[in-house]
C-alpha cells in the first residue's frame, strides 16, 4: 500500500533570504553550469548552492555545512507542525492557459519489487552516485520527485476545495524564468490530511520525474537502517514527492525529439530502414517547417509515426509504420518513441544523440551529418500501462511540463525526529 504523510517542511525566511524568485530553481538535471552560476550570482542563498554545490570531492561536505549554517542563521526554518502542501502551477502552452494542481508530501520508500512505486524509465549509476553522496552528507531532500496517481476524485475535490476556501492564500508564490506562476499552500488540518492519506493508500504511485532520486533514496534508506536499526518511523524511510492526478487537465507531456549524428554508413542504413515505413514528403522550404510537421503528425492515427528532417533541414518527411508491421505490435508497444528506438536507433551506428523538446531549437542547430526525429508526446495512459507491466520506456520518452521548482520546500531526512502514522 502507498503511504502518503505530512511533514514539517523547511522553507526560506524571505525576510532574511530575499525574494522567492531568486531563491528557487528548476530541477538540477535540466540546467547548464552557466545557468547554475547565473542563479547563484543573483542570490547566494539560491537553492542550487545546496542542490548543486560547487567544488570537487569536498562539495558534498560543503553543502552539509552550508545547509546547517542556513538553518542556524534562520535563512531556512523548519515549520512547527506537519503539513501537506498543495502546489499549483499556471502556465501557457500552445496558446492556452493551463493549470496543474498537485501537492507535496512524504511518500514511504518501497522496494521496486513491491510494485507500490512504479518506474517507467531506467536509471544510470553515475547520476545515482552523485545524488547519494549529497543526500548522505546533508541528510536533506532539496527537491521533490514527481509522482502520478490514477484519478482519485476525493483527493482532487479536497485540494480544490481547500484552495477555494483558503482565507490566508498561498504561503509562497514564485514566477519562473519562463513566466509560469507557482503557488504553494499549506494544509495542517488533521482530518483533511487523513482524507488524502486514506484515499491513496490502496493505489500504486508512478514516478514521472525523479527516478534517480528515488533510487538514491532507496539506497540511503537501506544503508541507514543497516546502521541504525529498522525503525520504520525514522525520517530516512520517506521521500519528499509532488503528487498529481493522472487526469488533471494541466498534466502536460511534451515530446523529446532526437538529433542523431551519423556517418555515411549510417545514412545508407537509414535509407534501407525507411522501407518499413510509409513516407510522406513535407514542404521544407521557407519558414514554418515545425508547424507543418507537427500539424501532419497531429492528423495521424494511433499508428506509430514521426517526422524525419535531413540535409541540413532541406528535406522533411513523415514516416508512419506500415500496416503489416504495426498490426504485429501489442497495444502497449504502439507508441512513437518506442518504435523509433527499437526499429531505427538500435539499428543505426549513431555517433551521438542529442535531445530537445523544442522543434525550432533542434532545427536551428541541425548539422549536415545529423537527422532530426520529431516525435509526438507519449500519452499518459501509455506511461502508466508500461509501468503497470513492469517494463521501462527508452531514455527521455517523456518531458512533463512545466517542471516543478526546487526550493519551495525542503525535507530533512536524517536521524532526528520520527514520522508518525496517521
In SS3 terms, 133-148 reads as: HHHHHHCEECCCEEEE
Instruction: Answer whether 9's CB lies under 8 Å from 411's CB.
Output: yes
Q: Which residues pair with 320 in a beta bridge?
A: 278, 305
Considering only CA atoms, which of 136, 140, 127 is closest in space to residue 29? 127
For residue range 30-50, list pLDDT tens digits in order: 999 999 999 999 999 999 999
Q: Quick check: 184 and 85 in contact, CB under 8 A?
A: yes
Residue of 412, 395, 300 lying closest to 353 (CA atoms): 395
Task: Give the helix, strand, coil percentages of the chain, each rounded to 5.
Answer: 40, 25, 35
pTM of the model: 0.95
**CA-based torsion, 143, 146, 147, 150: positive or negative:** positive
Peptide bond into 258 cis (omega under 30): no
Strands (E) across 288-383 are located at 305-310, 315-321, 352-356, 370-374
pLDDT at position 251, please?
98
What pLDDT shows up at residue 285?
Answer: 83
pLDDT < 50 regions, the chain = none
Three cell numbers written together for 279: 513516407
- pLDDT confidence of residue 414: 85
| Beta bridge pairs of residue 372 | 259, 309
In angstroms, the CA 414 to CA 81 distance is 18
Domains belonging to the chain, first-starting first, are 4-252+401-412 (3.90.1530.10), 256-376 (3.30.1760)
Please tell me the total number of residues recorded for the chain in this structure.
Answer: 422
Secondary structure, 3-state, 181-203:
EEEECCECCHHHHHHHHHHHCCC
Show Cβ contacts of residue 107 under 8 Å, excluding neighbours closer than 6 positions: 2, 3, 4, 5, 117, 145, 147, 205, 238, 239, 240, 241, 243
Amino acid at each position: 500500500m502507498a503511504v502518503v504523510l505530512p511533514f514539517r517542511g523547511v522553507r526560506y525566511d524571505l525576510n532574511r533570504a530575499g525574494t522567492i524568485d531568486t531563491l528557487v530553481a528548476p530541477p538540477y538535471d535540466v540546467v547548464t553550469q552557466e545557468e547554475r552560476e547565473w542563479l547563484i550570482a543573483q542570490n547566494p542563498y539560491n537553492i542550487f548552492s545546496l542542490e548543486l554545490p560547487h567544488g570537487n570531492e569536498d562539495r558534498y561536505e560543503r553543502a552539509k555545512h552550508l545547509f546547517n549554517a542556513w538553518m542556524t542563521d534562520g535563512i531556512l526554518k523548519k515549520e512547527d507542525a506537519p503539513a501537506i502542501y498543495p502546489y499549483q502551477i499556471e502556465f501557457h502552452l500552445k496558446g492556452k492557459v493551463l493549470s496543474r494542481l498537485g501537492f507535496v508530501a512524504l511518500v514511504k520508500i518501497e522496494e521496486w519489487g513491491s510494485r507500490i512505486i512504479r518506474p517507467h524509465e531506467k536509471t544510470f549509476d553515475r547520476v545515482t552516485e552523485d545524488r547519494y553522496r549529497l543526500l548522505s552528507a546533508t541528510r536533506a531532500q532539496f527537491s521533490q520527485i514527481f509522482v502520478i496517481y490514477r484519478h482519485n476524485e476525493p483527493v482532487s475535490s479536497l485540494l480544490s476545495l481547500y484552495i477555494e476556501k483558503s482565507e490566508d492564500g498561498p504561503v509562497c508564490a514564485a514566477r519562473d524564468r519562463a513566466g509560469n506562476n507557482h503557488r504553494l499552500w499549506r494544509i495542517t488540518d488533521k482530518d483533511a490530511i487523513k482524507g488524502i492519506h486514506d484515499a491513496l493508500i490502496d493505489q500504486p504511485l508512478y514516478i514521472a520525474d525523479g527516478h534517480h532520486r528515488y533510487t538514491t533514496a532507496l539506497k540511503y534508506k537501506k544503508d541507514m537502517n543497516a546502521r541504525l536499526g529498522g525503525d520504520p518511523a525514522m525520517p530516512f524511510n520517506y521521500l519528499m514527492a509532488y503528487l498529481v492526478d493522472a487526469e488533471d487537465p494541466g498534466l502536460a507531456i511534451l515530446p523529446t525529439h532526437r538529433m542523431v549524428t551519423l556517418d555515411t554508413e549510417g545514412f545508407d542504413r537509414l535509407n534501407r530502414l525507411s522501407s518499413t515505413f510509409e513516407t510522406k514528403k513535407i514542404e521544407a522550404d521557407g519558414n514554418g517547417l515545425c508547424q507543418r510537421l507537427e500539424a501532419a503528425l497531429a492528423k495521424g492515427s494511433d499508428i506509430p509515426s514521426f517526422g524525419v528532417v535531413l540535409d541540413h533541414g532541406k528535406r522533411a518527411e513523415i514516416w508512419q509504420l506500415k500496416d503489416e508491421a504495426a498490426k504485429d505490435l501489442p497495444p502497449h508497444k504502439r507508441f512513437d518513441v518506442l518504435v523509433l528506438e527499437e526499429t531505427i536507433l538500435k539499428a543505426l551506428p549513431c555517433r551521438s544523440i542529442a535531445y530537445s523538446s523544442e522543434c525550432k531549437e533542434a532545427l536551428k542547430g541541425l548539422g549536415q551529418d545529423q537527422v532530426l526525429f520529431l516525435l509526438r508526446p507519449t500519452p499518459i495512459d501509455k506511461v502508466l500501462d508500461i509501468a503497470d507491466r513492469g517494463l521501462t520506456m527508452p531514455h527521455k520518452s517523456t518531458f512533463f511540463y512545466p517542471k516543478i521548482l526546487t526550493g519551495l520546500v525542503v525535507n530533512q531526512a536524517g536521524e532526528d525526529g520520527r514520522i508518525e502514522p496517521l
